[in-house]
Structure 1
Amino acid sequence: MSSPLSLIQQRHSAPSRQLGEPAPDAATLHTLLEAAIRVPDHGKLVPFRLIKLRGQDKLAFGELLSARAIRRDPQLPESKREKERLRYTFAPLVMVVVARVDADAGIPEIEQKLCAGNVAYNILLGAYALGLGAQWLTGWAAYDAEVAQLLGLAENESVIGFVHLGTPQSDIPDRDRPALNDLLSAWKAPA
């Protein structure tokens, strides 16, 4: 019998370039996202929302980002222009996880953004549990004001990540993980 923690112990990202059809169908996606939004939420602010990029709209988004990348750097080499143009063409579905910070709520901004980050992670974890592949990416577009406008974000919103979803097209090996003993310490009260 597998451990209840085996899902977390085995979860790993699938590179977006190795994700293809099928994407989760509407019912599966709904179930996945309902699970993903069950996150710690100090103050019950729901400081996040989701934007779905799929099909021709996803491709158009990639074209607009490529044009933005060129405006940011007119000297951008052709290979990087092509990389920007193709960035959203691999995985059949991309979920944009957006943080919505309420500055007047009395809850620290970092806690609100971490809440949204937990949504992104839950999408990864849930996708893995469903036998799907997923990768959480950011890159320059997550932090660009023009991209935020393109996505229709309000002033208090920011992109936490672009979560690419699909079916792995090949076996994806896990990466090396850090040793817990290198990361864990115990605090001692001053004498």
Structure 2
Amino acid sequence: MTETNSSESSITTNQTDSGTVNLLLSRRSSTAADMVAPGPDAAQLQTILAAGHRVPDHGKIGPWRFVIFEGEARTKFGQMVAAIFAVKNPEASEKLLEFESQRFNRAPLVIAVISSPVDHPKVPQWEQLLSAGACCQNMLVAATAMGFGAQWLTEWYAYDDDVNNALNLNANEKIAGFLYFGSRTKPADERVRPDLAERVRHF
């Protein structure tokens, strides 16, 4: 067995994966409307889901689940969303209703991340909600690493009870986000971000 001295071990342990760090520092959301086919294939989809499944999860509860929209399922659910919108907005124009019906066709793949917290004596629901948010971020990063555009959206239908019923959400569940994935038609735009220095304090 080859011995490794402490200094060599330290160097190995502290090596930086510059590719991963650069990805995290440069990740940008692509607009769903700017995405086209092809989207992630079956194997890439499984990788994205596995990345979401890998997040911190106090208590090993798994307080989240995923609903996948591909192919005709995007059109079918978009029509359901438009029908719900029409009932609640009877003055809506045909053009607006058509827009609502096409929301899920903006990208080849849409994944709804459902936050599913449970009552647990040692794990507050707040921590479970944060875990669902971490799922969303991990999935965005994984898709970006594969070269796809990715965007995390909610919009009105993420907060609508009738839409939630159409997705068969339980009373304790909420939509953490609809994640859109596809090939980019143009580079993602950089945006102004909050001043980091204003948000850091040393205690």
Give the structure-1-normalised TM-score: 0.91
1:174 aligns with 2:190: yes
Superposition map of 1:125-140 within 5 A: 125-140=141-156
* Unpaired segments ≥5 residues, structure 2: 1-16
1:70 aligns with 2:89: no
Deviation at residue 134 of structure 1 after TM alignment:
0.6
Aligned partner of 1:165: which letter? F
What CA RMSD, in Å, does the superposition of the two structures yield over aligned residues?
Answer: 1.6
Deviation at residue 172 of structure 1 after TM alignment:
2.1
1:41 equivalent in structure 2: 57
**3-state SS, counterpart of residue 200 of structure 2:** coil
Q: What are the Cα deviations for residues 49-72 of structure 1, in whole angstroms up to 9, with x where unaligned? A: 001001111111001101101112
2:176 equivalent in structure 1: 160
Counterparts of 2:58 and 2:18, CA distance in 1: 33
**3-state SS, counterpart of residue 5 of structure 1:** helix
Q: Structure 1 residues 44, 139: closer, same or farther in 2, change over 3 A?
A: same
Deviation at residue 79 of structure 1 after TM alignment:
4.0
Which one has the bigger helix percentage? 2
Deviation at residue 163 of structure 1 after TM alignment:
0.1
- Structure with bigger gyration radius: 2
Counterparts of 1:127 and 1:3, CA distance in 2: 15
* Unpaired segments ≥5 residues, structure 1: none
Q: What are the Cα deviations for residues 95-124 of structure 1, in whole angstroms up to 9, with x where unaligned? A: 000011102454222211110111011111
Q: Structure 1 residues 30, 185: closer, same or farther in 2, change over 3 A?
A: same
Identity value in percent = 37
How many residue pairs were aligned? 187
Query: Which of 153, 157, 165 is 1:149 aligned to?
Result: 165
